């Protein structure tokens, strides 16, 4: 009988949920989603705020105010729907697989040479843009754009 038990391997579901959650928090968001399929105890641990807090950047709670019921929901909300920060001149999101921050600068947050010269650039509104204004290049003698996060 002992040989049969050894062949099956250890019963990780017997571990306390907090222990499972702590171990899962040291992995990746993709791993947490995969591990949640192993058993009900793993699912509960993998969906806990302890796990998803470890995948969110430390400044995230100050940056984002969304009504979500869990940190997992906040994580995927930031992956699917970027939030505007910095007076609407930057977009903040998370990479779904790694959890790394993705920051996009609007044209107004960039330093564009001749950006205020109407013969070279115009500032327009595009309905599908995440930013209020976009820069449209009309003519170019040289192109120099700088940005800083």
Mean pLDDT of 114-137: 91
Write down the pLDDT at residue 116: 85
pTM of the model: 0.78
Q: How far apart are CA 97 and CA 68, in angstroms?
A: 20
Strand partners, 92: 83, 103
Answer yes or no: are the C-beta atoms of 132 and 100 closer than 8 Å.
no
Tokens encoding 126: 């595009």
Tokens encoding 108: 């107004």
Answer yes or no: are the C-beta atoms of 21 and 50 closer than 8 Å.
yes
Q: Is the pLDDT of residue 140 over 90?
A: no
The number of CA neighbours under 13 Å toward the Cβ of 68 is 15
Q: How far apart are CA 92 and CA 79, in angstroms?
A: 9
Q: Is the pLDDT of residue 1 over 60?
A: no
Q: How far apart are CA 81 and CA 76, in angstroms?
A: 8
Q: How far apart are CA 21 and CA 55, in angstroms?
A: 12
Write down the pLDDT at residue 126: 93
* Residue appearing with tokens 């302890």: 50
Strand partners, 93: 102
The number of CA neighbours under 13 Å toward the Cβ of 20 is 22
Mean pLDDT of 127-145: 90
């Amino acid at each position: 009988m002992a040989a049969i038990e050894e062949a099956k391997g250890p019963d990780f579901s017997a571990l306390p949920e907090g222990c499972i959650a702590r171990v899962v928090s040291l992995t990746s968001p993709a791993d947490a989603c995969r591990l949640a399929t192993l058993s009900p105890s793993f699912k509960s641990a993998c969906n806990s705020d302890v796990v998803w807090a470890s995948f969110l950047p430390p400044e995230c709670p100050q940056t984002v105010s969304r009504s979500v019921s869990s940190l997992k929901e906040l994580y995927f909300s930031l992956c699917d729907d970027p939030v505007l920060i910095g007076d609407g001149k930057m977009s903040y999101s998370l990479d779904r697989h790694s959890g790394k921050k993705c920051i996009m600068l609007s044209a107004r947050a960039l330093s564009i040479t001749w950006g205020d010269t109407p013969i070279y650039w115009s500032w327009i509104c595009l309905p599908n843009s995440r930013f209020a204004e976009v820069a449209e290049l009309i003519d170019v003698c040289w192109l120099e754009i700088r940005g800083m996060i």
